[in-house]
Amino acid sequence: MTYQSINFNNKFGLFTEHWAPKVIAEMNDYQFKLAKVEGEFVFHSHANTDETFIVLDGCLRIDFEDGSVDLNAGEMFVVPKGVPHKPFAKSETQLLLIEPRGVVNTGEAEGGALTAKTDVWI
Amino acid sequence: MTYQSINFNNKFGLFTEHWAPKVIAEMNDYQFKLAKVEGEFVFHSHANTDETFIVLDGCLRIDFEDGSVDLNAGEMFVVPKGVPHKPFAKSETQLLLIEPRGVVNTGEAEGGALTAKTDVWI
């Protein structure tokens, strides 16, 4: 039987779009997604779930209504469910996101062009 | 309001034991745990959940009954529920594990001295 690891850098080589998470693995009903982000996202929240951000390369700032957190490579943060947040990256940043299957990237917000399709695997 | 990122390297500086996962964050009813491993673990399985391994530093081999997978830094693998597996690291390796709260590291096996306490936070 052949088992294959999932290599983050190899997967990042397969796409270039920003703010369009790609699923690379599932654990029970949770998904692991890679995303490249740059610039400003929209304020949004997820009513039913926490959301995990792990920075693999670059720097991410997550703004809240009453503050912010800076994440460098090798750092993580869990945004609690229902908490409005807005990710921002000054230059291209590579993220690993973990959240339940089916979560929409713009949450409860009218994301418009920023709303990505869910369940896109690479 | 002050928000604080979780820095993997800083957390790894807080302990030295092998095969003793430390919780660093929770997302819903799942936990993120850091572990330092070296040498051979025991064959075990988790009847009710998948288990995610992410290698942050070093190399991990996971043996199965019919094969194995090698994970280097920047790689991940999800062991499906119920599948017997045995982690092995030739030299000290740093892992991020993700699994539901309360999972015992030796699963269904009689882990003896290798069975670690659950829910130990750093």
Structural domains in chain B, sorted by start: 8-101 (2.60.120.10)
- Model confidence at B1: pLDDT above 90: no
CB–CB of A30/A42 below 8 Å?
Answer: no
Report CB contact under 8 Å: B28, A74.
no
Sign (positive or negative) of CA dihedral A27, B78, B20, B64: positive
Residue to substitute from B1, B27, B55, B88, interface A, most A β-carbons within 10 A? B27
| Residue A44 DSSP label | B
∠ at Cα B81 (A74, A20), nearest 5°?
45
How many contacts does A have with B, using Cβ atoms within 8 A? 99
ipTM of the complex: 0.96
Report CB contact under 8 Å: A56, B49.
no
Q: For residue A18, give Cα distances in angstroms to A54, A91, B50, B111.
A: 16, 11, 30, 45
Q: For residue A40, with 0-12 CB atoms within 10 Å meaning exposed, 13-18 middle and 19 or more buried, which class applies?
A: middle
Amino acid letter for position A7: N
Residue to substitute from A1, A2, A3, A98, interface B, most B β-carbons within 10 A? A3
Give me the phi and psi of A114, to 5 degrees please. Answer: -80, -15
CB atoms within 10 A of CB A110: 9
Model pLDDT for residues B7-37, shown as the tens digit of each residue: 999 999 999 999 999 999 999 999 999 999 9
Over range A45-53, report the average pLDDT.
Answer: 97
Over range A98-121, report the average pLDDT.
Answer: 89
CB–CB of B7/B74 below 8 Å?
Answer: no
The answer to whether residue A100 neighbours chain B at the CB level (below 8 Å) is yes
Over range A112-119, report the average pLDDT.
Answer: 89
What does pLDDT average to over chain A? Answer: 96
Report CB contact under 8 Å: A75, B3.
no
Model pLDDT for residues A74-85, shown as the tens digit of each residue: 999 999 999 999
CB–CB of A74/B7 below 8 Å?
Answer: yes
pLDDT at B66: 96
| Residue A122 banded pLDDT, cuts 50, 70, 90 | very high
A40 contact partners, CB below 8 Å, separation of at least 6: A86, A88
| Residue A109 banded pLDDT, cuts 50, 70, 90 | confident
Model pLDDT for residues B93-121, shown as the tens digit of each residue: 999 999 999 999 998 887 788 899 999 99
- Model confidence at A35: pLDDT above 80: yes
Model pLDDT for residues B33-88, shown as the tens digit of each residue: 999 999 999 999 999 999 999 999 999 999 999 999 999 999 999 999 999 999 99
| Residue A92 banded pLDDT, cuts 50, 70, 90 | very high
State how far the Cα of A113 lies from the Cα of B15, in Å rounded to an integer.
45
Please give the helix or strand (H or E) that residue A96 lies within, else none: strand A86-100
pTM of structure: 0.96
pLDDT at B110: 73
State how far the Cα of A47 lies from the Cα of A5, in Å rounded to an integer.
33
